[in-house]
Structure 1
Amino acid sequence: MSQKLNTQPVERLKRISPEEFIKCYVKPQKPLIIEQLIDDWPAKDKWTFDYFKSIAGDLEVPLYDSKPITSKYKYNEPQAKMKLRDYIDILQTQPTDLRIFLFNLIKERPILQDHIKVPKLGLSLLKSLPFLFIGGQDSKVFMHYDIDLANILHIHLQGQKQCLIFPPSETKYLYKVANSLKTNDGIDFTDPDFETYPALAYAKGYTANLSPGETLYMPEGYWHHMHYKTAGFSISLRALARQPKHLGKAVYNITVMRYYENLMRKWKGDQWLQHKQKASIENTHKSLNLKAS
């Protein structure tokens, strides 16, 4: 029997009060799936791929794939662009690793704003930033955490999606790449190689299998890896980090780390990225006194 990641299912509740949510999940920074949080959203039934085609099919959208980042492409730069209708046609007919990532479709089509409601959970959610995520069957989003270390409500609306998440405390086991928000490119978190990456065996995280209408709460700075089991889409609502150390790190990420990284890529190119990939393994094993087989 092959070795697997050490994860447990994320706790599930049908509904929760704001007081209980803050006390039991936000303050202790525990993830949660809320099954019926958006039952009163028009988007739950109205939003489909065909509906998106009808209201925004002519919109050109940025697309991302699963290839490792190079010095040519920055972390948040798309690899291609396509009319939304053409992209959806691909999604509905064949597997693809092309994804829409962090796209504000509501800004482009404001009528969609009427289809969502800000959940009352005791968080100051930013309704103006409801980012859209779309993925094809079997597409994957590499393991990463968000630059602003926000509290995130990841609201799944179509298809089946599996989310692997790890708290910040497990970073030392995940082969983090320096000056970045991601882990080593060689790791396939759906089928990890424990011989090459033995530290993964010590990481303790969670698995969340999401169906349409379910909401995953991811606390501040949580690592997350998304696997679209079928073509589908989600949106996320976010609230600023509440913990001072996370706010400080978010400011550093945005004002220092990002610009330093762009400078080094411009100066040393792919040599810099390759050095960091190798160092992520060496430094992890050295700090934990481990050796790859």
Structure 2
Amino acid sequence: MKLTEVPKVDKITKEDFIAHYFKPQKPVVVSGAIEDWPAFAKWNLDYMKAVAGDKIVPLYDDRPVQHEDGFNEPHAKMKMREYIDLLKREPTRFRIFLWNVLKEVPELQKDYTYPDFGIKLMKKLPMLFFGGRDSYTFMHYDIDLGNIFHFHFEGEKECILFPQSETKYLYKVPYSLITHEEIDFSDPDYEKWPALKKAEGYRASLSHGDVLYMPEGYWHYMKYVTPGFSMSLRAIPRNPKNLAKAFYNILFMRYFDVFMRKIKGQKWIDEKNRKAILRTNRFNG
């Protein structure tokens, strides 16, 4: 894969952000943007354990999708304090995914504000993500193809990004938001996945307080180098094609996929994975 390092800037004006990153739809990492947030000084795993320790949290791992899995259905649950103890004790594949701050721990709202990057953010959808050392997400893009601001806290995180233009090289699974799950984007096997050699994307390393901007519909693979967590804020896509695709994903695609899993079972999942390989290799034949 041809990966360019995402540029990193120390703070940024909204005018510069709009001109150099939002309008051309290019990713950027901003440091120093949230140093005035109480969260910058307070938010770490111990603090989350203290304020949310009794909350039952949904956990996800990197097992392949099975036909009986519901849309974003967790693989396990446990109390937050037990989960954080696990993160600090040993490596684990369990991650927290799409945990709504407003709904679950309203007092955390006092620790952050909505930054002015020049575009309107969706204030009802601040989501938290947690992971242990070496845990990762499959390469995917978000169902709404939104503009994402990803704020990282504690530890180190690696991100690999691709614009939608590179989908033809990524072995996308039909009727889904993911690439083939057997691909290790940290160390891809180019003999098995030859089209990946043509993919052009970005790599970013995040530390405490960094903000990663991911443009509309960007594919992203996230790996926790050390235990940590992040919060995402988002804005709706502005490109009409992306907005139409978001409506298609939300109103039709996900329901059709769930329906077909019920009808065809694991055969549907296996068939989609085969098509991901056949279509990609045929296109790049």
Q: Report the identity percentage.
A: 53
Q: CA deviation at 1:127?
A: 2.1
Structure 2 equivalent of residue 193 of structure 1: 189
Structure 1 equivalent of residue 127 of structure 2: 131
C-alpha contact (below 8 Å) 1:265/1:273 kept by paired residues: yes
Of residues 25, 31, 41 in structure 1, which corresponds to 2:21?
A: 25
The residue type paired with residue 117 of structure 2 is L
Aligned-partner SS, 1:144: coil
Structure 1 equivalent of residue 6 of structure 2: 10
Q: Deviations over 1:64-104 (max 9, x none)?
A: 00101101113411000101110011001100000000101
C-alpha contact (below 8 Å) 1:57/1:85 kept by paired residues: yes
Structure 2 equivalent of residue 64 of structure 1: 60
The residue type paired with residue 231 of structure 1 is P
Structure 1 equivalent of residue 243 of structure 2: 247
The residue type paired with residue 89 of structure 2 is T
Taking the aligned partners of 1:245 and 1:105, their CA distance within structure 2 comes to 30
Normalised to the residue count of structure 1, the TM-score between the two structures is 0.96
Structure 2 equivalent of residue 81 of structure 1: 77
C-alpha contact (below 8 Å) 1:161/1:230 kept by paired residues: yes
Q: Report 1:1-293 matches (<5 A).
A: 5-289=1-285
The residue type paired with residue 226 of structure 1 is M
Taking the aligned partners of 1:128 and 1:41, their CA distance within structure 2 comes to 18
How many correspondences in the alignment? 285
The residue type paired with residue 16 of structure 1 is I
Taking the aligned partners of 1:217 and 1:187, their CA distance within structure 2 comes to 24
Q: Deviations over 1:195-235 (max 9, x none)?
A: 01100000000000000000000000000000000000000
Taking the aligned partners of 1:78 and 1:265, their CA distance within structure 2 comes to 17
The residue type paired with residue 156 of structure 2 is Q
Q: CA deviation at 1:270?
A: 0.8
C-alpha contact (below 8 Å) 2:99/2:127 kept by paired residues: yes
Taking the aligned partners of 2:20 and 2:52, their CA distance within structure 1 comes to 40
The residue type paired with residue 280 of structure 2 is T
Aligned-partner SS, 1:226: strand
Taking the aligned partners of 1:109 and 1:171, their CA distance within structure 2 comes to 37
C-alpha contact (below 8 Å) 1:9/1:208 kept by paired residues: yes
- Alpha-carbon RMSD across the aligned residues, in angstroms, is 0.8
Taking the aligned partners of 2:113 and 2:50, their CA distance within structure 1 comes to 22
Aligned-partner SS, 2:19: helix
Taking the aligned partners of 1:281 and 1:225, their CA distance within structure 2 comes to 19
Taking the aligned partners of 2:15 and 2:212, their CA distance within structure 1 comes to 18
Q: CA deviation at 1:105?
A: 3.0
Taking the aligned partners of 1:141 and 1:174, their CA distance within structure 2 comes to 15
- What runs of 5+ residues in structure 2 fail to find an aligned partner? none
Normalised to the residue count of structure 2, the TM-score between the two structures is 0.98
C-alpha contact (below 8 Å) 1:69/1:75 kept by paired residues: no
Q: CA deviation at 1:107?
A: 1.9
